[in-house]
Structure 1
Amino acid sequence: MNLVFRSTLLAMAASSIAYAAPTAISPLFSSGMVLQRDAAITVTGSGPENGTMKVSLGKDSLSAKVGVDGTWRAEFAAQPAGGPFVLEASDGSATAKVEDVLIGDVWVCSGQSNMQMGLDEAVGGAAMIAKGSADERLRVLVIPKAGADKPQGDPGTKWNHATAETLKKFSAVGASFALHLRDDPKLRDVPLGIVDSSFGGTAIEAWTPEGTLPKIPETEISGSMFGISPGHLFNRMVSPLTANPIKGVLWYQGESNGAHPRAYASLLANLATQWRKQWKQPELPFFIVQLPAFSGTMGGLDFSWLREAQAKACAESKGVHLAVTHDTTNGYDLHPVEKEEIGRRVSLLARKEVFGSEIVARGPQVKDVKVEGKNIVVTFDQVVKSTGGAIRGFAIAGDDGDYRFADAVAEDNRVILTASSVPAPKTVRFAWGGLPDTNLVNEEGFPPSLFRTDTLAPHSLAFQQLPAIYRLSGPAYQIQTNELGHVASLISGGKQFLSTEPGGGTSMPGGFGPRALPKVKMTGPSRLECRDGEFCLEIACQDDSMEWTFTNSGGGDAPFHIALSEKVTVTGNAPTVELARDGMKIRVDGVESIEPGKLIVKVRGHATQKLKWSGARK
Structure 2
Amino acid sequence: MVSKRIVSLACVAGVLPGAVFAAAPDRLAVARIFTDHAVIQRDRPIAIWGSAAKGTAVKVTLADRSATAIADHDGHWRVALPALAAGGPYRLVATAGLQTATLDDIAVGDVYLCGGQSNMEFPARLSTGAWGGLKDVDNRDLRFVTIGKDNAPAPRTDLNTPVTWKPVTADTVGEASAVCYYMARSLQVSQHVPVGFIASDWGGTTIQSWTSGPALRAQRAYAGGVAALALYAADPAAGLAADGKRVEAWWDAHDPQAKPQRAWIAPDYDDTGWDTIGPRGSWKDAGLAPLSGLDGVVWFRTTVTLTEAQARSATALQLGPIDTDDSAWINGARVGGGATAWVWRDYLIPAGTLKAGRNTIVVRVLGGGSDGGLTGLPQNRGVRLVSGALVPLDPTWRYRVGMRSRGLSVTPSPWDVPTSLSTLYNGMIAPLGGYGLKLVAWYQGEANMGQAAEYRSLLPLLMADWRKTFGQPDLPFVVAQLSSYGSVATVPSESGWAELRDVQAKVVRADPHAGLAVTIDVGDRADIHPTQKTVVGERLARAARVVAYGARGDAAGPEAVSVERRGPDLVIRFRAVGNGLRTYSADVAIGFEACTARQCRFRAGTVDGDTVVLAGANTAEVTRVRYAWADAPYVNLYGADDLPAVPFERTVAPSP
**In which range does the TM-score fall when normalised by the shorter chain?**
0.5 to 0.7
Identity of aligned residues (%): 32
Which of 245, 249, 260 is matched with 2:440 structurally? 249
User: Does residue 367 of structure 1 match 2:574?
Assistant: no
Distance 2:553 2:446 in 1: 31
**Range with greater deviation from structure 2 (356-365 or 441-450):** 356-365
Question: Which amino acid letter does the alignment assign opposite residue 125 of structure 1?
Answer: A
State the structure with more CA Rg: 1
Following TM superposition, by how much is the alpha carbon of 1:265 offset from its aligned partner in structure 2, in angstroms? Answer: 1.2
1:136 counterpart SS class: strand
- State the partner residue of 1:208: 211
Distance 1:272 1:406 in 2: 37
Question: Which amino acid letter does the alignment assign opposite residue 82 of structure 1?
Answer: G
Following TM superposition, by how much is the alpha carbon of 1:92 offset from its aligned partner in structure 2, in angstroms? Answer: 4.9
Question: Which amino acid letter does the alignment assign opposite residue 434 of structure 1?
Answer: D
Aligned residues of 1:295 and 1:435 also touching (Cα < 8 A): yes
**Range with greater deviation from structure 2 (340-349 or 419-428):** 419-428
User: Does residue 134 of structure 1 match 2:328?
Assistant: no
Which of 447, 451, 461 is matched with 1:260 structurally? 451
- State the partner residue of 1:280: 471
What does 1:276-355 align with in structure 2 at a 5 Å threshold? 276-296=467-487, 301-355=495-549
Q: Structure 1 residues 438, 26: closer, same or farther in 2, change over 3 A?
A: closer
Question: Which amino acid letter does the alignment assign opposite residue 422 of structure 2?
Answer: G
Aligned residues of 2:484 and 2:524 also touching (Cα < 8 A): yes
1:292 counterpart SS class: coil
User: Does residue 177 of structure 1 match 2:183?
Assistant: yes
Q: Structure 1 residues 21, 216: closer, same or farther in 2, change over 3 A?
A: closer
Aligned residues of 2:434 and 2:471 also touching (Cα < 8 A): no
Following TM superposition, by how much is the alpha carbon of 1:409 offset from its aligned partner in structure 2, in angstroms? Answer: 1.5
Question: Which amino acid letter does the alignment assign opposite residue 236 of structure 1?
Answer: G
What does 1:372-387 align with in structure 2 at a 5 Å threshold? 372-381=566-575, 382=577, 383-387=580-584
Aligned residues of 2:51 and 2:75 also touching (Cα < 8 A): yes
User: Does residue 168 of structure 1 match 2:359?
Assistant: no
Aligned residues of 1:84 and 1:102 also touching (Cα < 8 A): yes
For residues 388-420 of structure 1, the C-alpha deviation after alignment (integer angstroms, 9 at most, x for no partner) is 313233434364542222132111111111257
2:522 counterpart SS class: coil
- State the partner residue of 1:448: 645
What does 1:16-35 align with in structure 2 at a 5 Å threshold? 21-35=26-40
Aligned residues of 2:495 and 2:629 also touching (Cα < 8 A): no
Aligned residues of 1:87 and 1:101 also touching (Cα < 8 A): yes
- State the partner residue of 2:634: 437
- State the partner residue of 1:6: none
Following TM superposition, by how much is the alpha carbon of 1:318 offset from its aligned partner in structure 2, in angstroms? Answer: 2.8
Which of 172, 180, 197 is matched with 1:194 structurally? 197
Q: Structure 1 residues 134, 42: closer, same or farther in 2, change over 3 A?
A: same
- State the partner residue of 1:611: none
Q: Structure 1 residues 420, 321: closer, same or farther in 2, change over 3 A?
A: closer
Following TM superposition, by how much is the alpha carbon of 1:61 offset from its aligned partner in structure 2, in angstroms? Answer: 2.6
Distance 1:22 1:89 in 2: 12
For residues 473-504 of structure 1, the C-alpha deviation after alignment (integer angstroms, 9 at most, x for no partner) is xxxxxxxxxxxxxxxxxxxxxxxxxxxxxxxx
Q: Structure 1 residues 124, 245: closer, same or farther in 2, change over 3 A?
A: same
Following TM superposition, by how much is the alpha carbon of 1:454 offset from its aligned partner in structure 2, in angstroms? Answer: 4.5
Following TM superposition, by how much is the alpha carbon of 1:103 offset from its aligned partner in structure 2, in angstroms? Answer: 0.9
2:424 counterpart SS class: helix
Following TM superposition, by how much is the alpha carbon of 1:94 offset from its aligned partner in structure 2, in angstroms? Answer: 2.6
1:243 counterpart SS class: coil
For residues 118-155 of structure 1, the C-alpha deviation after alignment (integer angstroms, 9 at most, x for no partner) is 01111012345346x41111111111112100111222
Question: Which amino acid letter does the alignment assign opposite residue 176 of structure 1?
Answer: Y
Unmatched tracts of structure 1, length 5 or more? 1-17, 456-618
Following TM superposition, by how much is the alpha carbon of 1:74 offset from its aligned partner in structure 2, in angstroms? Answer: 2.2
For residues 175-222 of structure 1, the C-alpha deviation after alignment (integer angstroms, 9 at most, x for no partner) is 1101111341xx12x11111111101111111110142253658xx9x
Q: Structure 1 residues 277, 361: closer, same or farther in 2, change over 3 A?
A: closer
Aligned residues of 1:40 and 1:77 also touching (Cα < 8 A): yes
Question: Which amino acid letter does the alignment assign opposite residue 45 of structure 2?
Answer: A
Which of 551, 556, 575 is matched with 1:357 structurally? 551
Distance 1:104 1:125 in 2: 26
Following TM superposition, by how much is the alpha carbon of 1:436 offset from its aligned partner in structure 2, in angstroms? Answer: 1.4
User: Does residue 232 of structure 1 match 2:236?
Assistant: no
Distance 2:141 2:148 in 1: 23
Distance 1:48 1:328 in 2: 53
Aligned residues of 2:60 and 2:79 also touching (Cα < 8 A): yes
Distance 2:84 2:54 in 1: 30
For residues 61-100 of structure 1, the C-alpha deviation after alignment (integer angstroms, 9 at most, x for no partner) is 3343444554433210111111111111223533211111
Q: TM-score when scaled to structure 2?
A: 0.61
Question: Which amino acid letter does the alignment assign opposite residue 411 of structure 1?
Answer: D
Q: TM-score when scaled to structure 1?
A: 0.65
- State the partner residue of 1:539: none
Task: Note the aligned Cα RMSD (angstroms).
Answer: 2.7
Distance 2:634 2:620 in 1: 23
Distance 1:48 1:231 in 2: 30
Which of 404, 407, 411 is matched with 2:604 structurally? 407
What does 1:515-594 align with in structure 2 at a 5 Å threshold? none
1:137 counterpart SS class: strand
Q: Structure 1 residues 138, 453: closer, same or farther in 2, change over 3 A?
A: same
Distance 1:212 1:305 in 2: 24
Aligned residues of 2:567 and 2:618 also touching (Cα < 8 A): no
Aligned residues of 1:379 and 1:414 also touching (Cα < 8 A): yes
Aligned residues of 1:258 and 1:301 also touching (Cα < 8 A): no
Question: Which amino acid letter does the alignment assign opposite residue 44 of structure 1?
Answer: W
Following TM superposition, by how much is the alpha carbon of 1:283 offset from its aligned partner in structure 2, in angstroms? Answer: 0.5
Aligned residues of 1:57 and 1:88 also touching (Cα < 8 A): yes
Aligned residues of 1:207 and 1:232 also touching (Cα < 8 A): yes
Following TM superposition, by how much is the alpha carbon of 1:348 offset from its aligned partner in structure 2, in angstroms? Answer: 0.7
- State the partner residue of 2:624: 427
Question: Which amino acid letter does the alignment assign opposite residue 303 of structure 1?
Answer: W
Question: Which amino acid letter does the alignment assign opposite residue 327 of structure 1?
Answer: D
Aligned residues of 2:111 and 2:439 also touching (Cα < 8 A): yes
Which of 568, 585, 590 is matched with 1:388 structurally? 585
**Range with greater deviation from structure 2 (333-342 or 420-429):** 420-429
2:503 counterpart SS class: helix
Question: Which amino acid letter does the alignment assign opposite residue 159 of structure 1?
Answer: W
Q: Structure 1 residues 204, 400: closer, same or farther in 2, change over 3 A?
A: closer
Q: Structure 1 residues 42, 393: closer, same or farther in 2, change over 3 A?
A: same
Distance 2:97 2:524 in 1: 63
- State the partner residue of 1:509: none
2:27 counterpart SS class: strand
Question: Which amino acid letter does the alignment assign opposite residue 344 of structure 1?
Answer: E
Whose relative contact order is higher, 1 or 2, with alpha carbons under 8 Å and at least 6 apart? 2
Distance 1:137 1:319 in 2: 26
Q: More helix per residue: 1 or 2?
A: 2
Aligned residues of 2:188 and 2:194 also touching (Cα < 8 A): no
1:265 counterpart SS class: helix
For residues 21-57 of structure 1, the C-alpha deviation after alignment (integer angstroms, 9 at most, x for no partner) is 2233232311111111111112223445544433211
- State the partner residue of 1:496: none
For residues 567-586 of structure 1, the C-alpha deviation after alignment (integer angstroms, 9 at most, x for no partner) is xxxxxxxxxxxxxxxxxxxx
Distance 1:364 1:52 in 2: 56
